[in-house]
Structure 1
Amino acid sequence: MPLVTSKEMFNKAYKGGYAIGAFNVNNMEIIQGIVEAAKEEKSALILQVSAGARKYANPIYLKKLVEAAVEDSNLPIVLHLDHGENFDICKACIDSGFTSVMIDGSKYPFEENIRITKEVVEYAHSKGVVVEAELGKLAGVEDAVKVSEKDATYTDPEQAVEFVERTGVDSLAVAIGTSHGAYKFKGTPSLDFERLEIITKKLEGFPLVLHGASTVMPEFVAKCNEYGGKLPGAQGVPEDMLRKAATMGVCKINIDTDLRLAMTATVREYFVNHPEEFDPRKYLGPARDAIKQMVQHKIKNVLGCSNSIL
């Protein structure tokens, strides 16, 4: 099976009231852990590459690893560019075989965001590639994306309709209170479901996306801190909120921080308990297993997309 686009999987997700997991990848072990979980859960999958991942691992290495995952698993897998910052980066990824790209023009004024997004859409669609865009600004830090809390803005429903109509984009990331990084909320977590409901009604049948949607799982935070980490007050999006969003038109939920925490917590624990070890396979193997177990939990209990390939 070749790499696929997200069109069919989003259509099924929308009708089925679930979301597809979009997991950020940086190396072989992360990809293997995610894919093994999806194989066992019979779940469609989006593997996405950020600017930081492209710089760290070299895009061709990541693409070949994802192609190996497709060959090994025979799962429907989308290779997606996360937070493409301009047309040239999106074009380079399209030309190299990505099946989905995100153009993030959310930092620009509305009209400029439309112009840039439309340019990417026209090129991508001519190559059979789908496009995600973003309207509104999420707070937080993720690789090259840095938005202060005071600069964050929620998505305007009326603008969302106009944006989709004028750009021809295939999916839209909306800002309803999630944020990037491990520190998503200072107080009680809250998402603007009223706003999401309005957007969903105005864009009936259209797939929406949630960025910054890691739950920052407490067990991994606690383990990191227990074995020498310093993550006081780290807090993510509660799982029940994400599950609710998946029944309200959100067809893609992005997860990155939870992957990092699962891997880091496991490696920290291993080094403390086995200070004599220096073989990377000894600590990356358990880290890969932790990612697999975490992703399985997400697929079954948060995303609701188990058996989505049946």
Structure 2
Amino acid sequence: MPYMSGKTMIQQAWSEGYAIGAFTAHNLETIKAVLLAAEKEQSPIMIQIGQKAINEMGMKPLRDAVDSLIEHHQISVPICIHLDHSRKFEQCMEAATRNFQSLMFDGSALPFEDNVRITKTVVEVAEALGLGAEGEIGKIGGTEDDITVDEKDAMITTVEEALDFSERTGVHYLAVSIGTAHGVYKTTPELKFDRLSEIKEAVKKPIVLHGGSGVPDDQVIEAVKRGVAKINVDTELRQGFIKGVQSHWSKNQDDFILADVMNTGIAAMMEVVQHKIRLFGSNGKA
């Protein structure tokens, strides 16, 4: 299997000045779309398994599906399976035993000291197993995986807390809040680039951008230049998939062959993934 530790994958991207797309998968078809797009673009990628998908499908079935599809489609590019936005230490440990290559404990809603304490323990386990570990400081607005943060609570991360958190936890890559939100934007986001640069200079580590869907391309390119090395994409992938299926049905209302319908969703989602890969600069980096 072409698996690579998240630590290695993100570090490589960061040192070479591109970003890894962390694409959320919800089922067999969406995993397939991400894998085929990555293979086409010859790009290393992260497949994110998040809370909504785990609640609906279960961690093990989704994890097993990635193995099966890699084998079936003879995928050769580096792949990292990432546990996204885990709010539970126990879940992080389960993912570690199921051969995930990257773990994220999200304690951003907890008191700062609790966030540090639990994230540090997850990092220690990841270190022992050679996995990547991500932590989050500052709240990122919007709803993701049934977890909602009010816009007014989406506080921009300060340099001081980012550095303190990074040093005390030892995270390999750090998710910060610089003006993105999860879900669909009501107005065009404006990323706080100066803050991003200040954080990068202070922590000297790869930065993770959550809420990557809907951020204008030019802002994404600028963020990568300033030290973002992992960009999470979910909403735009789901939109692509569902709109693909909708357009198929609008033309073929009586097509009840599931594979036909799903394949239009897969093709539409692949286009989004391929566009993002090129935008992030990871194409040809496999």
Q: Which amino acid aligns with 2:127?
A: H
1:146 aligns with 2:141: no
Residue in structure 1 matched with residue 59 of structure 2 by the alignment: 59
Secondary structure of the residue aligned to 2:46 is: strand
What does 1:158-307 correspond to in 2, within 5 Å? 158-182=160-184, 184-186=185-187, 188-204=188-204, 206-215=205-214, 237-300=215-278, 302-307=279-284
Q: Which residue of 1 aligns with 2:75?
A: 73
Change (3 A) 1:69 1:251: farther
The 1-side partners of 2:123 and 2:33 are apart by 32
Aligned counterpart, 1:110: 112
1:95-125 Cα distance to aligned partner (Å, 9 max, x none)? 1111111000000121111011112112222
Cα distance, 1:69 vs. partner?
3.8
What is the distance in 2 between the residues matched to 1:119 and 1:177? 28
Residue in 2 that maps onto 1:231? none
In structure 1, how many angstroms separate the alpha carbons of the residues matched to 2:10 and 2:124?
Answer: 20
Distance, in Å, in 2 between the alignment partners of 1:2 and 1:273 is: 39
Q: Is the 8 A contact 1:157 1:199 kept in 2?
A: yes
SS in 2 for 1:82: strand
Per the TM alignment, residue 38 of structure 1 is displaced from its structure 2 partner at its CA by 0.9
Is 1:3–1:70's contact at 8 Å kept on the other side of the alignment? no
Q: 1:133 aligns to what?
A: 135
Match of 2:5 in 1: 5
CA distance in 2 between counterparts of 1:266 and 1:279 reads 15
Once the 2 structures are TM-superposed, how far is the Cα of residue 160 of structure 1 from its aligned partner?
0.8
Secondary structure of the corresponding residue to residue 73 of structure 1: coil
RMSD of aligned residue pairs (Cα, Å): 1.3
TM value normalised by structure 2:
0.96
d(CA) in 2 for partners of 1:68, 1:193: 40
Q: Which residue of 2 aligns with 1:100?
A: 102
1:2 CA displacement: 4.3
Q: C-alpha distance in 2, partners of 1:67/1:248?
A: 34
List alignment gaps of at least 5 residues for structure 1: 216-236
Aligned partners of 1:70 and 1:77 also within 8 Å: no
The Cα of 1:42 is off from its aligned counterpart by 0.8
Q: Scaled by the length of structure 1, what TM-score is found?
A: 0.88
> What letter matches 2:50 in structure 1?
S
Distance 1:41 1:270 in 2: 25
TM superposition outliers: structure 1 runs of 4+ over 6 Å: none
Secondary structure of residue in 1 paired with 2:255: coil
